[in-house]
Amino acid sequence: MQKKIGFIGLGIMGKPMAKNLIKAGYSLVVYDIVEDPVKELVELGAEAGESPKDVASKSDIVITMLPNSPHVKEVVLGENGVIEGAKEGLILVDMSSIAPIAAQEIAAAVKEKGIRMLDAPVSGGEPKAIDGTLSIMVGGDEETFKEVEDILKVMGSSAVLIGDVGSGNMTKLANQIIVALNIAAMSEAMVLATKAGVDPEKVYQAIRGGLAGSTVLDAKMPLVLERNFKPGFRIELHIKDLMNALDTGHGVDVPLPLTTQVLEMMYALKVDGKQGDDHGGLIQFFEKLANVEVKRQN
């Protein structure tokens, strides 16, 4: 018999991920503190849950997709949380991007109630959430992973088990450092080219097939040229991830000098009211320094 899935957190990422599960034929119980996405999912065939506790009581597997560690702890361990409604043997798959130590703490708490947990953060932003082509980084027990692997592969093009609980989010932190530094490098280079009088679109086309080419460059540069900073992944969320990276790095005695610099750049944009922009909008920090705008020239 097909397992029933609970899905908690229907934001920019969670809503399209849940939609893909419904399209694949899975039965969903959904919950969010915002009513509109719940109604949208119900129209597609999902059942509305009254609380995380209610969702858990009706599910074999609960997926959470929430902003940060405190939100996951509250939804899972708080009043009317998942832990209160879960049957023994329930699998909790937290797909949020949170601190690795928080994932380990939550896993330890739910284990006492007979709940198995995976931390399974994702990379790819809203476009890949919509397409079902996310990269999913998983920490946890191999047997539990195999039970949900087919479900994860509805939402992602890859789902890789890395190690114990917490290793999924450690991998996500590494991912977020690399993405942030790539965006910063792209931004600095394109501001230089533009201020020097060279067409940034032609620079992009010339370098994208060489060693400087990257998935980040191909995802973000076309949007910059259109001045489109509508979020696939908001700057404020990348700030959260980089702060988690710094906390984790300091906890294991790893200095992160480049991460610190990019975090401060993103924080400057937050102060400027741009925290809701896509993280590709980091280029605006460099543009302000050089008093130039990178955009399509014809």
Query: Are residue 43 and residue 115 in the same domain, yes or no?
Result: yes
Q: What is the pLDDT of residue 125?
A: 86
Q: What is the pLDDT of residue 270?
A: 98
Select from 164, 184, 215 the last residue of a domain. Answer: 164
Residue 295 lies in a domain: no
Q: What is the pLDDT of residue 1?
A: 63
Query: Are residue 138 and residue 174 in the same domain, yes or no?
Result: no
Query: Are residue 48 and residue 90 in the same domain, yes or no?
Result: yes
- The CATH number for 179's domain is 1.10.1040.10
Tell me how many domains the chain contains.
2
Query: Are residue 91 and residue 105 in the same domain, yes or no?
Result: yes
Residue 296 lies in a domain: no
Closest CA to 215 of 240, 244, 243, 178: 178
* Domain carrying residue 244: 170-290
Residue 298 lies in a domain: no
Q: What angle do CA 142, 147, 153 make, to 5 degrees?
A: 100
Query: Are residue 39 and residue 87 in the same domain, yes or no?
Result: yes
Structure tokens at 288: 């302000």
Query: Are residue 21 and residue 150 in the same domain, yes or no?
Result: yes
Residues annotated as catalytic are 172
Residues 256-294 as b or e (16 or more Cβ within 10 Å = b): beebeebbebbbebeeeebbebbbbbbbbbbbeeeebeb
Query: Are residue 72 and residue 158 in the same domain, yes or no?
Result: yes
Q: What is the pLDDT of residue 2?
A: 76
Select from 140, 164, 188 the last residue of a domain. Answer: 164
pTM of the full structure: 0.91
Query: Are residue 195 and residue 89 in the same domain, yes or no?
Result: no
- The CATH number for 121's domain is 3.40.50.720
Residue 297 lies in a domain: no
pLDDT averaged per 10 residues, the chain (length 298)? 91 96 97 97 97 98 96 97 96 96 97 97 92 97 97 98 98 96 98 98 98 96 98 92 95 97 98 97 98 94
Contact predicate 70/145, CB 8 Å:
no
Select from 136, 164, 192 the last residue of a domain. Answer: 164
